[in-house]
Amino acid sequence: MTIPLLARDSHRPALRLLGALDLPLTRQHECTGPARHSFAMLLIGALRGPVLWIAPAWARDHLNPDGISPLTGAENGPERLIFVAPERREDLLWCMEEALRSGAAPLIIADLPEPPALTPVRRLHLAAEEGAARGHNRPLGLILTPGDGGAPGVETRWHMAPAHTPGTDRWHLTRRRARTAPPAEWHLTGRPGAWALKQT
């Protein structure tokens, strides 16, 4: 049996988020924290094309369409999102894997009840690489996990939390892990098209 190896290309194309943060394409990334959905909105605003949003059917919290445009920009409204709500826990990552393998969408997001294990994460990396070879996109995968997350094998891990002050929307963004960059922290303020990112 031949086991495919993950590509180790140090020059892998990346999505540059907010002009300073690199998320390599055809890889899986993780975001945790109380504002992890806001981080997902930033990615949606930075890419063009359809976005697949996978969340369990039994989840109690769902995205509010009215809250999407303020973080992504008016031209990136909720009409770009395709929602998938599997009823079985094992189908969450299966849906993500198949979507990545198709290469049909530039961004696939899975809102998970807990971090996946190493083997499923490796499968997601491989599916994204296959999708880049067969589709029209180099798909980026983002898993949103509760608590401190901790999915093994992800390319980057982020934590985002609100840090609002009276009259100012502000977030605290932390890169907790990255294969090619050290941990770092930023404050994020502003609005779509005029985000301000300041390293702390």
Rounded Cα gap, residues 125 and 128, in angstroms: 5
User: Using one digit for the tens of pLDDT, what is the confidence trace for 7-24?
Assistant: 455 567 999 998 889 999
As separate numbers, helices (DSSP H) first and strands (DSSP E) second, the chain gives 4, 11
The answer to whether the CB of 163 falls within 8 A of the CB of 66 is no
Domain range list for the chain: 18-59+72-155
Residues in a beta bridge with 175: 158, 184
Provide the residue type at 103 as one letter.
Answer: G
User: Using one digit for the tens of pLDDT, what is the confidence trace for 127-181?
Assistant: 999 999 988 899 999 999 999 999 999 999 999 999 999 988 899 999 999 998 9
Domain 18-59+72-155 belongs to what architecture?
A: 3-Layer(aba) Sandwich (3.40)
Judged on CB neighbours under 10 Å (0-12, 13-18, 19+), 174 is middle
Residue length, the chain? 200
Q: Which helix (H) or strand (E) holds 144?
A: strand 140-144
pTM of the model: 0.90
User: Using one digit for the tens of pLDDT, what is the confidence trace for 97-121?
Assistant: 999 999 999 999 999 999 999 999 9
The answer to whether the CB of 91 falls within 8 A of the CB of 132 is no
User: Which DSSP category does 165 fall into?
Assistant: B
